[in-house]
Amino acid sequence: MSPVIEELLQLLDLECLEQGIYRGQSRNIVGKNVFGGQVLGQSLMAAGRTVEGRSVHSLHAYFLRAGDIHAPIVYWVDRLRDGKSFSTRQVRAIQHGQPIFTMMASFVVEEDGLDHQEPMPEVQAPEGLPNETELRARIAHLLPEKIRESFARERPIEIRPIDPINPFAPQAQEPCRFHWMRAQAELPDDRLLHQSMLAFASDFALMGTAMLPHGVSFMQPNIQAASLDHAMWFHRDFRMDDWLLYQMDSPSSSGGRGINRGKIFSRQGVLVATVAQEGLMRLREVGEKY
């Protein structure tokens, strides 16, 4: 198995400290702070371990503080309700005695019902597209040496963008983009694991969609950006070790914030999840302290 997948599986395999209390570790995935997708995935895993016979159908989360990658994170799960059909859990992620993240998640008993979905858009297939690791390697020389290795590091989720942009030379364009994604190796048949890994992967690239019409990117020194919240709805079964299409768009940005939406389809065209996130995106003077 790929070492980066083994590392992600270890991150999602939380240590149980007490009933409803778990501890997770962190890794440097995208920068100096804990990657938001890591906290999403670990929180969903913590909540899911307190539920039996039900699968998550939605989560709503807020990022409260930047996470410290050098310290463990404690996840405290409150069992708010267990009804006939639904179970509700609240998760608090704590570091250094303070909450850095909070999430509500709802789990449901499977049942049949009315069924419809939007069709998957027609886009280029993943075969033949360069992956994100290859694309980053082409421009890594433009970065200072101290962060070059982190930027070019392989990630556990393989991402193949359609019409990729150069983050060092962004140009204004429509706030819509697509990428294919999948885990770097075959995964166990564990539904909660696949759902937690999709929560992890759903945070890649989403927030930058609102920056597209403004011709700016995370790589610019005058951009202050951070995820503020994150919501997901899980519609149908899927596998993270098979290709998924992530369709992202941004209907609005104002007041230093941008809203982003995502739809995730299986290779077979099945809509498996919907995502929404608001992000902070402030323009600053170069050298101004945040």
Q: Which residues are catalytic?
A: 203, 227, 277
Are the C-beta atoms of 258 and 202 separated by less than 8 Å?
A: no
Angle of CA points 80, 45, 12, to nearest 5°? 155
Torsion over CA: 110, 112, 266, 251 (sign) = negative
Is 205 strand, coil or helix?
A: coil
Is 57 strand, coil or helix?
A: strand
CA distances from 3 to 91, 135, 167, 190, 223 (A): 29, 20, 27, 20, 33
The size of the chain, in residues, is: 290
Is 75 strand, coil or helix?
A: strand
Residue 19's Cβ-side half-sphere holds a number of Cα atoms within 13 Å equal to 2
Torsion over CA: 69, 59, 18, 76 (sign) = positive
Q: Return the bridge partners of 108, or none.
A: 55, 86
Is 48 strand, coil or helix?
A: helix
Is 254 strand, coil or helix?
A: strand
